[in-house]
Amino acid sequence: MRVRKSLYCQIAAALVFLSSVGAAGPASSQTVNAEVARREGKVVVYGTVVPRVMKLIQAGFEAKSGVKVEYWRGDATKVIDRVLTEWRAGKPGFDVVIGARGPLSLGKAEGVYAKFAPSSAGQFPAKFRDPDGQLTAWRVTPVGILFNTETVRSVDVPKSWDDLLDSRWRAKISMPDPSRHASTATFLWNLRQIKGDKWIDFVRALAQQRPLLVESYSSVPNAIVRGEAPLGVTYVQYAGQTKGPIDFAPGVQGFADPSDAGASAKAANPSAARLFIDYLCSPDGQRKVADTGEFVLSPGTYPAVKNADRIMANLQLLEDPSKEQLQKLQAEFRQLFLK
């Protein structure tokens, strides 16, 4: 009986080991050695998170872990461009990358990310998981229409994407330049989910509206508040994060890309990188982020946004074009929007 019991224990131990090695898939979870991370001392993060939100994440993580955060921010295109440039030069300076899944996915083919499934993300909705187990979704960023509450009458607030094509909004819409901003190009391409083959007709008509093109989604709310454009295409959460007369159009179909975090496969501080991602997905990290108006993935944790649960339930998930498709899309959008 003792021999049999010992054998069972050995088999169980072997199974636990096999389930936790580097080949683990998205469904498995991994723990992190916090003491090793503390000895590493810091984690270098490249990301798209706005400073107001990152400051709270950074303060919470540093207080809990004793690990310092060094953060560099850019829009999604600039982040992945810097990541790939450093990677190809053999001098990656980042431990963690944060951004929309579409742009970040471009790093997969070059082996940028290590496989990692934080245990704290185990209860997140399965539909947001990266099937390759290299990126961890920790929030979603719904794309919608925001408007200036002082210059747009309630009866004129858009109720659908098609309302942007009304002649009254000509030269009065702010949006990122889709020929340069990968996330916007991806969003426009995904309109085919609700418009079928006619999506490109909508994009052509939108270009004819002569929108005010800005650098990124984060630039749009400022243009709206300053009165440069009464409407804007950007992230819904910015309505609650921007001071001034701004709100989002609740009747418009929202599209969302998971905001992912990936640990570098050549991180100088690998344990600190994993610990940071684990904190992002922890109850404490998720609550801090939600309190800033962000839509997080922890079940039952919502921002103080009207109908936040309904927004999450009705989101249309963005599909990612391939690298070649994205390049073709941006070339086409350059002809449409910049001619």
Same domain, 244 and 153: yes
The pLDDT assigned to 242 comes to 92
- Percent of the chain exceeding pLDDT 70 equals 91
Question: What range defines the domain where residue 100 resides?
Answer: 25-140+257-309
Is 291's pLDDT higher than 60? yes
Residues 247 and 262 in one domain: no
Report the number of distinct structural domains present in the chain.
2
Residue 99 pLDDT greater than 50, yes or no: yes
Give me the pLDDT at residue 251, please: 86
- pLDDT score, position 312: 87
Residues 242-282 have pLDDT tens digits of 999 999 999 899 999 889 999 999 999 999 999 999 999 99
- On whether both 269 and 235 belong to a single domain, the answer is no
Would strands 255-263 and 136-148 be described as parallel, antiparallel, or unpaired? antiparallel
Please compute the mean of the pLDDT values over residues 180-204 and round it to a whole number.
96
Indicate whether 5 pLDDT > 80: no
**Is 290 found in the same domain as 161?**
no
Tell me whether residue 18 is in a domain. Answer: no
Q: What is the pLDDT of residue 29?
A: 63
User: Same domain for 228 and 261?
Assistant: no
Q: What is the mean pLDDT of the chain?
A: 91
Question: 274 and 132 in one domain?
Answer: yes
pLDDT mean over 14-24: 36
CB 258 within 8 A of CB 142: no
Let me know whether 113 and 187 are in one domain.
no
Q: Look up residue 165 and give its two tokens.
A: 């094509």
**Residue 3 pLDDT level (bands cut at 50, 70, 90):** very low
pLDDT band at 28 (very low <50, low <70, confident <90, very high): low
pTM score: 0.77
Q: Is residue 37 part of a domain?
A: yes
* Helix, strand, coil share (%) of the chain residues, nearest 5: 45, 20, 35
In a domain, 176, yes or no: yes
**Which tops the pLDDT comparison, 5 or 123?**
123
Same-domain pairing of 180 and 328:
yes
Q: What is the per-residue pLDDT for 41?
A: 98
* pLDDT at residue 4 tops 50: no
Q: Are residues 232 and 274 in the same domain?
A: no
Q: Look at residue 313 in the predicted model and tell me its pLDDT.
A: 84
pLDDT for position 22: 36
52 pLDDT above the threshold of 70: yes
Q: Report yes or no on 10 lying in a domain.
A: no
Q: Is residue 177 a contact partner of residue 223, using CB atoms and an 8 Å limit?
A: no
Judgement on whether residues 147 and 40 belong to the same structural domain of the protein? no
Residues above pLDDT 90, as percent of the chain:
79
Residue 204 reports pLDDT greater than 80: yes
pLDDT band at 17 (very low <50, low <70, confident <90, very high): very low
Determine the Cα–Cα distance for residues 128 and 138; give it in Å rounded to an integer. 9
- Encoding tokens for residue 33? 């050695």
Distance (Å, whole) CA 185 – CA 9: 54
What is the average pLDDT across 317-328? 92
Is residue 281 within 8 A of residue 138, CB to CB? The reply is yes
Predicted confidence at residue 253, as pLDDT, reads: 92
pLDDT confidence of residue 311: 86
Task: Tell me, yes or no, whether 13 lies in a domain.
Answer: no
**CB neighbours (10 Å) of residue 302?**
16
Tell me the CATH number at 60.
Answer: 3.40.190.10
Does 289 lie in the same domain as 147?
A: no
Average of pLDDT values for 189-216?
A: 97
Give pLDDT, residue 6. 46
**How large is the average pLDDT for residues 231-236?**
96
The answer to whether residue 6 is domain-embedded is no
pLDDT at 190: 97
On whether residue 4 sits in a domain, the answer given is: no
Per-residue pLDDT reduced to its tens digit, 59-89 = 999 999 999 999 999 988 899 999 999 999 9
Task: Give CA–CA dist 55/69, Å, rounded.
Answer: 10
Whether the per-residue pLDDT at 230 is higher than 80: the answer is: yes
Residue 12: pLDDT band with limits 50, 70, 90: very low
Shared-domain flag, residues 124 and 152: no
pLDDT of residue 25: 39
In a domain, 333, yes or no: yes
